[in-house]
Amino acid sequence: MERTLSYVDAIREATDLEMARDAGVVLFGLDVDDPKAILGTTRGLAGKYGGDRVFGTPLSEDAMCGAAIGMALAGLRPIHVHIRMDFVLLAMNQLVNMAAKTHSMFGGQEHVPLVVRSIIGKSWGQGAQHSQGLYPLFMHVPGLKVVAPSTPYDAKGCLAAAVRDDNPVMFVEHRILYYQKGRVPEGDYVVAPGKARVAVPGREVTLVGISYMQVECLRAQRYLEEVSVSAEVIDPIWLAPLDIGTIEASVRRTGRLIVVDNGWMTCGAGAEIVASLAERMQDAPGWKLRRMGFAPVPCPTTPSLEALFYPNARTIAAAAFDLVKGAPQGWLPAARADLKLIEFKGPF
């Protein structure tokens, strides 16, 4: 029988396996060794590997990121954890000016095998500073790799790949994905950089969902079956390097693309995907596209506005239906219990 794990346990297991495999892997960040253990993803590791390899830090994101780079230069393989992606902003100088540039700027003499884990929050009043999907900032910077796995299987395989990578990798998690369960093989495997996955094959429209929006796209695909529209769903998994070829092949077949970003659209991952396709598909006649993402404002806490802030399966399905029909149809699927959003309700 196939083994099923939660996203949380997949991350914990990948960390455990990598720490067992390579004595140079160290894990730190605020609260990695506290009773809640980063929502369980670091549970038990301090006990197993000791306080020298797994430790909580002072509230000093900038210095700890710089220190992680120093450790990496000395041959360790640090994993630096941030419980919110918003807090990574405090370490931006080290990431952008040092981690990303070290290998190239020093003529290939040094490299920075660093993994930065961070979690995007959503819903239940997380608000403006606890909900941002800032991964496009890092996609923009040459020298950083960016991955946003949406399944437990990919979470484990991508984290293993990230730890083994000799370059800085931004490993982007999503709080709502933590509740997912899925197939996760035991033992060692990697989900290597630069390969997307066709999650569901289809014919009429390609849905590309990033991070948590992959889950909403999969639900949208089911809603679209109600109106006999065949959607193909692609998970890019790695955003840098990005497997644009897989998306291009799909859009060449379906002729229609919806990219759903788990962030704002301007200069977003979706913008990059669309621009790359526009360049590569100048020979393709009449293909249609649409971007979706956060409303272009800070995330409000009130549920009435937060509901409008995010794309969801039903709004994605409606947009795809309109794209396939070539004009607004006024169709919005009735919410189905089996495709309900996972609601997050405290604790924080």
Partner 1 sequence: MKRDELELTVRLYRSLRRIRRVEEEIVRVYPSDSIKSPVHLSIGQEAVATGVCEALEPRDVVFGSYRGHAMYLAKGGSLPRMIAELYGKADGCARGKGGSMHLVDVERGVMGTSAVVGTTIPNAVGYAYALKHRRENRIAVSFHGDGATEEGVFAESLNFAALKQLPILFVCENNGYAIHTHQSRRQATLDICTRVRAYGIPAETIEDGDVFRIFQAARAAAAAVRSGSPGPRYIECITSRWLEHVGPGEDFELGFRSREETEAWRKNDQVARLGGMLPAPQRSVIDEAIEAEIAEAFAFAEASPFPPAGELLMHLYR
Ligand X SMILES: Cc1ncc(C[n+]2csc(CCOP(=O)(O)OP(=O)(O)O)c2C)c(N)n1
| Structure tokens that stand for 77 in this block | 């393989």
DSSP state of 341: P
- Sign of the four-CA dihedral 12, 49, 27, 108: negative
Beta carbon of residue 333, minimum distance to ligand X (angstroms, whole number): 38
Residue 90 or residue 134: which is nearer to ligand X going by CB? Answer: 90
Strand order in the sheet with 197-200: 197-200, 231-235, 205-209, 256-264, 288-294
We find the least distance from the C-beta atom of residue 30 to ligand X, in angstroms, to be 5
Among 30, 79, 141, 162, binds ligand X (CB under 6 A): 30
110 part of the active site: no
Residues 50-69 that bind ligand X (CB under 6 A): 59, 61
Q: Which of residues 92-131 bind partner 1 (CB under 8 A)?
A: 124-130
Q: Where are the alpha helices (DSSP H) in 106-187?
A: 135-139, 152-164
Burial class, 55, CB count within 10 angstroms (exposed 0-12 / middle 13-18 / buried 19+): middle
Indicate whether 48 belongs to the interface with partner 1 (CB under 8 A): no
Draw the binding track, 77-96, toward ligand X (x: CB under 6 A; -: no contact): ----------x--x------
Find the part of the chain contacting partner 1 (CB under 8 A) among 14-22, 133-141, 170-178, 304-312. Answer: 304-312
Considering the complex, what minimum distance in angstroms separates the CB of residue 96 from ligand X? Answer: 17
3-state secondary structure of 26: strand
CA distance 226 to 333: 8
Among ligand X, partner 1, none, residue 346 binds (CB under 5-8 Å by kind):
partner 1
**Residue 2 among the catalytic residues:** no
Residues 309 and 298: their CA atoms lie apart, in Å, by: 9
Which residues of this protein are in contact with partner 1, per CB under 8 A?
Answer: 30-31, 34-36, 56-63, 86-87, 89-90, 124-130, 295-298, 300-305, 308-309, 345-348
